C-alpha cells in the first residue's frame, strides 16, 4: 500500500510540473503547409520560400497570406528567429470570431521583449492582460504555437504558455496603423529582420 501511495505522489508531482507546458500530439496529415502564397505588401525586402525572410524596413515590413485563410477554431505553428534589429521579429495577424476582424500576436516588441495580443478593448500588446516580457536571443529559433477558438486565444513559446485569454465580452481589433496591411492573415516585423519557417495550421 505504501509503495502504491508513493507512485501516486510521484505521478501527481510530474503532472503538476507539466502545467503550462505544451502537451499535444496531432497527425501530420491534419496540417496545412503555408510555405507558399506569401505576398510582400509593405516595408523592406522580403524573400519568400522556405524559410521566409522578412527584412528590415523604415517601420513595418509585412507579408500577407494568399492561400486558404484559417478561421476559428484553428491552431497555428511556426518557427521564428530575429536576425538583426531590436524589435518584434514575428507578428502574426489572424482572424478572430466569425466576421469580427483580426488581432495580432506580437513576439519581441517594444524594445525586444514584449509578447501579447493587439488589441483588446483598445489596448495593445504592451498594455493589456496578455502582456508579458520574454527574453529573445538574436539568431536563436523559437517555436511558436497559437490556438484561436471562439472566445479564447492561447500561445506557447518553446512549449511554455505565455498567453491564455478569455475574450468573452471584449472588443478585439487591430492596432491602428500599417499592421492592417496584414489582415486578415499575415506576418510582420518592425525595424527588424526576422526569418520564419515551418508555418502550418489546422482546423480544430
Question: What pLDDT score does 68 carry?
Answer: 93
Question: What pLDDT score does 21 carry?
Answer: 55
pLDDT per residue over 11-34, tens digit each? 445 444 454 555 555 566 799 999
Give residue for cell 483598445.
Answer: 122
Q: Is the whole-model pTM more than 0.75?
A: yes
Residue 7 reports pLDDT greater than 80: no
pLDDT per residue over 47-74, tens digit each? 999 999 999 999 999 999 999 999 999 9
Whether 93 contacts 182, CB under 8 Å: yes
Residue 125 reports pLDDT greater than 90: yes
Query: How confident is residue 109, by pLDDT bands cut at 50, 70 and 90?
Result: very high
User: How far apart, in Å, do the first and last CA atoms of the chain sit?
Assistant: 42
- b/e sequence 110-120, b meaning 16+ C-beta within 10 Å: bebbbbbbbbb
Q: Is 138 helix (H, G, I), strand (E, B) or coil?
A: coil
Strands 160-166 and 152-157: antiparallel
DSSP character at residue 68: P
Instruction: Spell out the domain ranges in the chain.
Output: 24-203
Question: Per-residue pLDDT averaged across 93-102, rounded?
Answer: 90
Residue 87 reports pLDDT greater than 50: yes
Which phi and psi angles does 178 have, rounded to 5°? -70, -10
Q: Is 77 helix (H, G, I), strand (E, B) or coil?
A: strand
Edge-to-edge, what's the strand order for the sheet holding 186-190? 38-42, 60-65, 186-190, 90-95, 102-109, 114-118, 132-133
Percent of the chain with pLDDT over 90: 83
Name the strand (E) or helix (H) holding 9: helix 2-17
Give residue for cell 489572424.
Answer: 94
Residue 104 reports pLDDT greater than 60: yes
Question: If you average pLDDT over every residue of the chain, what do you get?
Answer: 90
Full DSSP string of 81-129: EEEEESS-SEEEEEE-TTTS-EEEEEEEETTTTEEEEE-BTTB-TTSST
CATH class for the region spanning 24-203: mainly beta
Question: What pLDDT score does 99 carry?
Answer: 76
Nearest to 182 by CA among 79, 104, 117: 104
Higher-pLDDT residue of 193, 13: 193
Question: What pLDDT score does 98 carry?
Answer: 79
Question: Per-residue pLDDT averaged across 139-153, rounded?
Answer: 97
Amino acid at each position: 500500500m505504501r509503495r502504491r501511495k508513493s507512485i501516486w505522489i510521484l505521478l501527481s508531482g510530474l503532472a503538476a510540473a507539466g502545467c503550462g507546458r505544451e502537451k499535444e500530439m496531432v497527425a501530420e496529415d491534419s496540417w496545412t503547409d503555408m510555405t507558399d502564397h506569401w505576398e510582400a505588401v509593405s516595408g523592406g525586402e522580403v524573400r519568400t520560400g522556405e524559410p521566409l525572410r522578412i527584412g528590415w524596413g523604415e517601420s513595418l515590413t509585412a507579408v500577407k497570406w494568399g492561400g486558404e485563410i484559417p478561421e476559428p477554431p484553428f491552431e497555428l505553428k511556426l518557427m521564428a528567429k530575429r536576425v538583426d534589429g531590436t524589435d518584434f521579429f514575428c507578428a502574426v495577424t489572424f482572424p478572430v470570431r466569425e466576421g469580427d476582424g483580426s488581432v495580432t500576436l506580437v513576439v519581441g516588441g517594444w524594445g525586444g521583449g514584449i509578447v501579447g495580443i493587439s488589441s483588446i478593448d483598445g489596448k495593445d500588446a504592451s498594455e493589456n492582460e496578455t502582456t508579458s516580457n520574454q527574453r529573445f536571443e538574436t539568431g536563436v529559433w523559437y517555436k511558436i504555437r497559437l490556438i484561436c477558438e471562439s472566445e479564447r486565444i492561447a500561445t506557447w513559446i518553446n512549449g511554455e504558455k505565455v498567453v491564455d485569454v478569455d475574450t468573452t465580452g471584449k472588443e478585439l481589433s487591430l492596432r491602428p496603423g500599417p499592421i492592417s496591411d496584414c489582415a486578415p492573415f499575415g506576418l510582420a516585423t518592425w525595424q527588424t529582420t526576422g526569418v520564419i519557417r515551418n508555418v502550418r495550421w489546422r482546423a480544430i
